[in-house]
Amino acid sequence: MRHCINCCIQLLPDGAHKHQVNCREGPHHGQQACPTCKGENKILFRVDSKQMNLLAVLEVRTEGNENWSGFLRLKKGKRCSLVFGLIIMTLVMASYILSGAHQELLISSPFHYGGFPSNPSLMDSENPSDTKEHHHQSSVNNISYVKDYPSIKLIINSITARIEFTTRQLPDLEDLKKQELHMFSVIPNKFLPNSKSPCWYEEFSGRNTTDPYLTNSYVLYSKRFRSTFDALRKAFWGHLAHAHGKHFRLRCLPHFYIIGQPKCGTTDLYDRLRLHPEVKFSAIKEPHWWTRKRFGIVRLRDGLRDRYPVEDYLDLFDLAAHQIHQELQANSAKEQSKMNTIIIGEASASTMWDNNAWTFFYDNSTDGEPPFLTQDFIHAFQPNAKLIVMLRDPVERLYSDYLYFASSNKSADDFHEKVTEALQLFENCMLDYSLRACVYNNTLNNAMPVRLQVGLYAVYLLDWLSVFDKQQFLILRLEDHASNVKYTMHKVFQFLNLGPLSEKQEALMTKSPASNARRPEDRNLGPMWPITQKILRDFYRPFNARLAQVLADEAFAWKTT
């Protein structure tokens, strides 16, 4: 009986494994197709990421046990073809082994079934015996990315050469009013003198059957806030002031803002600070009103909705306003002009950096730079506001941000590729526009697969310092907060002029576990590749150096973390 075996030897790029090759087996005279090849008799090659096609057709005739005689009976041309194909195959294998790229060579064996994922972080489980293989594959992937470093370094050098921290042109107050006529009609120029927080009384014309939060956009667009507003409704009617047959409600803005940055510990700071009896936060931890909701943005990818009026934002401080009103009423009854001790805070981590909506509403841009920023409007109403900023090493911040917001396929490989793509996009912008224009470029920010721009702290802080005094800021590092919570909180208390706590209150505040820590499934993915870390350190270095210079503190250069 004569048989013929035809096997395709293919060189495939990484990630393009084919589980089927042209394989026929059967009587020679019939040439009937065999079932789908399972890979037991194939040899696969992966050569970097380049497509290479090598087809060798081996035709071997066997009869009984006469293996060599069958080979010798082959025609001279076929024997030459066979030998030539084997020589080529041997040379390819040898070249990749000798060049150190043997990790890209995969030889399928009939004794092994199934494959391993290319990224070890994607493995569902790992036995102790797999540890060596895991670390070997990790180092292999990192080494392969090291080869790309020179080209990425050129991109970073191109960006660095174009960095220029320029002073922005501040808008006039009249220009601000033209942009937000309604806001300026609601918020007064002066506030109550005996309240630390900026508060004022506003006439309420509704009847006692009126729902004061019926049209609030936070309720209409988010079910998770409805229980919060149920509590506000119950407390509303008992905290109105009455004079001359009219009802008045106390309205307040925050005394201080925790303005950023995301994934830098702002949630933990918020959770600890709200335990202080003199501090009251908004009913929602992050209203994002100044940066998003006042423009009608819930999620930018979903487009614009109706703009949230300033009254909807002020509603979020009603519970705090009720307590301030009670203290004011009590002091008034005693004929005292005592300063109210309660202060209101707001902790939207987007306030410092997110100005993505400006392109939809502000036309008079100069060379792609926004004519108005969030801080311009806050300063117009609250020139004495206190601002708290929590920062961390921007390299680690970006990886934490990626792990938190990425929905699927998270891995060190994926993060590296996204970082590379983001750097290329940022460089393309810097070739044509200024640093500020690129940082606030909505199109670029939406296109970048990771939020590279959020870690450019110096750019944002300098723009905030163009309208607020440096003494109005408390700049903290997450690294310091994590190592000594008690010290950090004391700095915050001093900055906000808060009263001392009892030992029990302080212990509760400082000894509670960290909030919003990294999820277990994300911790299991491990750190970013060392080469990715090196790339990001190169990128952020000039921005960190400028930040350290502005703050006169080398700790903010994050040279060692």
Q: Give per-residue pLDDT as tens, 273-297.
A: 999 999 999 999 999 999 999 999 8
Torsion, Cα 159 165 166 167, to 10 degrees, reads 150
- pLDDT of 15 reads 40
**How many CA atoms, within 13 angstroms, populate the side-chain half-sphere of residue 123?**
18
Inter-residue contact 426 to 444 (CB < 8 Å): yes
Cα separation, 125 vs 137, in Å, equals 15
The DSSP symbol for 302 reads G
- pLDDT of 331 reads 81
The DSSP symbol for 538 reads H
Cα separation, 497 vs 472, in Å, equals 13
31 found inside a domain: no
- pLDDT of 17 reads 41
Structure tokens at 309: 């009026």
Degrees, nearest 5: CA angle 196-490-377: 40
- pLDDT of 382 reads 97
51 found inside a domain: no
pLDDT digits (tens, 9 = 90+) for 140-172: 566 667 778 999 999 999 999 999 999 999 999
Cα separation, 310 vs 12, in Å, equals 59
- Domain containing 547 — which CATH number? 3.40.50.300
Inter-residue contact 202 to 253 (CB < 8 Å): no
290 CB-near residues (< 8 Å, 6+ apart) = 348, 351, 374, 377, 378
406 CB-near residues (< 8 Å, 6+ apart) = 414
**How many CA atoms, within 13 angstroms, populate the side-chain half-sphere of residue 288?**
20
288 found inside a domain: yes
Q: Which amino acid is at 195?
A: S
Nearest alpha carbon to residue 318 among 378, 236, 212? 236
338 found inside a domain: yes
522 found inside a domain: yes
Cα-Cα-Cα-Cα dihedral sign, residues 71, 76, 82, 86: positive
Sequential DSSP letters for 374-393: HHHHHHHH-TT-EEEEEE--
pTM, whole model, 2 decimals?
A: 0.74
**How many CA atoms, within 13 angstroms, populate the side-chain half-sphere of residue 129?**
0
141 found inside a domain: no
173 CB-near residues (< 8 Å, 6+ apart) = 380
Q: How many domains does the chain have?
A: 1
- pLDDT of 54 reads 36
Cα separation, 555 vs 480, in Å, equals 10
Inter-residue contact 58 to 24 (CB < 8 Å): no
473 found inside a domain: yes
Sequence-separated contacts (24+) of 103-108 with Cβ below 8 Å? 103/137, 103/140, 104/14, 104/45, 104/46, 104/47, 104/48, 105/45, 105/46, 106/44, 106/45, 106/46, 107/43, 107/44, 108/39, 108/40, 108/42, 108/43, 108/44
- CA 164 vs CA 338, 425, 433, 553: distances in Å: 49, 18, 11, 21
Range of the domain at 222: 173-556
Inter-residue contact 251 to 199 (CB < 8 Å): yes
511 found inside a domain: yes
Q: Which single residue is written with the structure tokens 């006692």?
A: 208
Cα separation, 346 vs 536, in Å, equals 31
- pLDDT of 336 reads 66
Strands 386-391 and 256-260 turn out to be parallel
Low-confidence ranges of the chain (pLDDT < 70): 1-85, 91-144, 208, 300-301, 335-337, 364-366, 516, 561
Structure tokens at 66: 């006469």
**423: burial class by Cβ within 10 Å (0-12, 13-18, 19+)?**
buried
